[in-house]
Chains A and B, each alone.
Chain A
Amino acid sequence: MSVFIIRRLLQSVVVIWVMSLLVFGGVYLIGDPIDMLINPEADQEDIDAAIRALGLDKPIHEQYWFFLVNALRGDLGKSFIFSEPALQLILARMPATMELAFSALFLAIFFGIPLGMWAGLKPESIAGRSIMTGSILGFSLPSFWVGIMFIMLFAVMLGVLPSGGRGETTEFLGLQVSFLSWKGLTYIILPAINLALFKLSLVIRLSRAGTREVVHQDYIKFARAKGLSEKRVILVHVLKNIMIPVVTILGLEFGSVIAFAVVTETVFAWPGMGKLIIESIDQLDRPVIVAYLMIIVFMFIIINLAVDILYSFLDPRVRLQDVKE
């Protein structure tokens, strides 16, 4: 077990290192680093000073070393626009994004599993078919478009929900959150549903496929033969067995929820990391872009690592196979 964890940890370090090379390559080599890291409004003297300060007159491997050491210290540069350290700027917006992402995941699980099981148990019924058609739509509709439709319907035509922003927040465990006040809920509900739709479709598909496979297994037939109530068969025997893939995949997908929050946050003007990165790209605020990319890569690797290790606890075959390799 510990061999497995150490191997995975080493792999993650390698991946982070590769990503740092890529981001460094992207920002410092493809583009002009002077454009990217120095405020375009600076004069020549400042530019020369900054080039020396950033070490851009040094050979490339030394520059990379400089970047790496600074990044490890948590220094990813200062934002041109806010003149604050980029890292702080992003961390300050992170709770808003996290709240949105967790709300979306919650919605996806809470509605996705029952709907998927229903569709799996009665695949030929009208309800089952409509659920599957709905999930195809959920997959194929671009989420920004669905978001626009939500705003159109609920904010413009019906006027019942706000069209964007976060509204007031209440404090909860030291964080500012929206979901505890009624007012805050009206602000978060549309973005959360919007972000959830894709994952909801995924959960529906997974639980439907799982259910269809599981109901034909011998242990289900046996449970029925034993005379267990249909409710118990479905809620205990079927549900338990479809939960493992659903939970694993959702764990892995959490990172992609955060990435997709970029779109939802832009549509609904939700003040999170995603909106910040789009604004930064617009305003060429390069340090923030680099910091965002490094943070999100780091987050992804942590999530993947956690899921891998958890999974190896649940399913010994995974770690055995890896050690043998």
Chain B
Amino acid sequence: MTATLSENVTETAAAPAESSPFGRFVADFCESKVAVAGFCGVVVILFIAILAPWISPTNPYDLATVDIMDSRLSPGKQMLAGVTAYLGTDGMGRDMVSSMFYGLRISLGVGVMSGFVALCIGACVGLAAAYFGGRVDMLIMRVVDLQLSFPAILIALVLLATLGKGVDKIIIALIVVQWAYFARTVRATALVERRKEYIEAAACLALSHRRIVFRHLLPNCLPPLIVVGTVQIAHAISLEATLSFLGIGLPVTEPSLGLLISNGFEYMLSGKYWISIYPGIALLFTIVSINLVGDRLRDVLNPRLQR
């Protein structure tokens, strides 16, 4: 990893990257080695999450292969099926590595899906508020402010307490929690952008509202949206893990990393640390990697900090 890392850095430093905006962006991004490491982490996580069913040593949810005799094996022991459980097995005899791969898939899936839908909703609402202004704007921003004055975990708690458990329900809860952040971000940027001349020019050409908003305004509001989107995905994953840990998130049939940690919590006091610790490390690795990338993107895309 260090080899690719330094390679990346020297490559971008040497290349005449100043020519295209994207090249400049990549060069800027790679100036921070920590961010590049975070990016590598994200790539690894995506790879594992997408390919989980094919690269896991065993299928932890195939009842035919899971054997209760394998339960609570410590890391490195061999399971009855002949597979080595490098990170041990849990209380049900499932291989931890495989459980974690599948768990990562669910955690990431829930996070990305809810983040993406919330981004779309938030962007549309925020653009409408900024573009139309007046009463529409006031009404929308009142709702956004009201929602943002309550912490995310509380709103999620309210929703899940009334809706119940389930993947669909937690995705709904996460969307409801997140859309307001996007709406506020987009509105703030769009308010600045819509006063610029190109919007006036587009309006003078008698282009339709829809065309102006989506073809002219939206692309120029993207940079802050990307930053918030990255950070929100990490936030969503963390929130989902917390809710699942509290026992009000995902059902036991679809264990995300949070639920795996929760399952291991009871074994921890008796010294069987691996059931809880390794999913925890995977969760941290995921969240920290995404946050590092998001943090760097914020610096790179922030026009105020541009040299």
Contact = CB atoms under 8 A, between A and B. Distances in A.
B162 A142 contact: no
B265 A148 contact: yes
Contacts of B150: 255, 259, 297, 300
Nearest to B163: A30
B116 interface: no
Interface residues of A, number: 42
Contacts of B261: 144-145, 148
Contact of B153 (A141, A263, A282): A263
Contacts of A142: 238, 241-242, 245, 258, 283, 287
Given A144-B242, A148-B261, A281 B288 contact: no
A51 to B, nearest CB: 20
B246 A152 contact: no
B268 A256 contact: no
A26 B151 CA distance: 18
B153 A152 contact: no
B86 interface: no
B7 to A, nearest CB: 25
Given A143-B242, A148-B268, A281 B248 contact: yes
Nearest to B291: A140
A148 B269 CA distance: 10
B64 interface: no
A277 B157 contact: yes
B51 interface: no
Nearest to B273: A152
Interface in A130-150: 136-137, 139-145, 148-149
B154 A259 contact: yes
A151 interface: yes
B154 A152 contact: no
A101 B286 CA distance: 29
A108 interface: no
Given A255-B151, A262-B157, A289-B161, A137 B280 contact: no
B288 A282 contact: no
A282 B283 contact: no
Interface string B14-58: 000000000000000000000000000000000000000000000
Contacts of A59: none
Query: Max chain B CB contacts within 10 Å: which of A145, A255, A278?
Result: A145
Contacts of A300: 149-150
A304 interface: yes
A223 interface: no
A228 interface: no
A27 B160 CA distance: 11
A156 B268 contact: yes
A263 B153 CA distance: 9
Query: Max chain B CB contacts within 10 Å: which of A148, A266, A293?
Result: A148
B161 A281 contact: yes
A26 B169 CA distance: 14
Nearest to B154: A259
Contact of A263 (B159, B234, B242, B291): B242
B247 A296 contact: no
Interface residues of B, number: 38
B284 interface: yes
A260 B246 CA distance: 12
Interface in A29-55: 30-31
Contact of B247 (A148, A256, A282): A282
Interface string B273-285: 1001100100110
B1 interface: no
A263 B146 CA distance: 23
Nearest to B146: A15
B158 interface: yes
A27 B154 CA distance: 16
Contacts of A207: none
Nearest to B287: A140
A194 interface: no
Contacts of B277: 152
A140 B238 contact: yes
A1 to B, nearest CB: 22
Interface string B139-151: 0000000100111
Nearest to B247: A282
A163 interface: yes
A139 B291 contact: yes
A139 B150 CA distance: 18
Given A136-B288, A136-B291, A145-B283, 10 more contacts: A26-B159, A26-B161, A141-B288, A142-B241, A142-B283, A144-B241, A145-B284, A152-B268, A260-B153, A297-B150
23 contacts: A27-B162, A136-B288, A136-B291, A140-B284, A141-B288, A148-B261, A148-B265, A148-B280, A152-B268, A152-B277, A156-B269, A255-B150, A256-B151, A256-B154, A259-B150, A259-B154, A262-B153, A262-B157, A277-B157, A277-B161, A281-B247, A281-B248, A297-B150
Interface of A: 15, 18, 22-23, 26-27, 30-31, 136-137, 139-145, 148-149, 151-152, 155-156, 163, 252, 255-256, 259-260, 262-263, 266, 277-278, 281-282, 289, 293, 296-297, 300, 304
The 4 closest A-B pairs by CB, nearest first: A256-B151, A26-B162, A259-B154, A259-B151
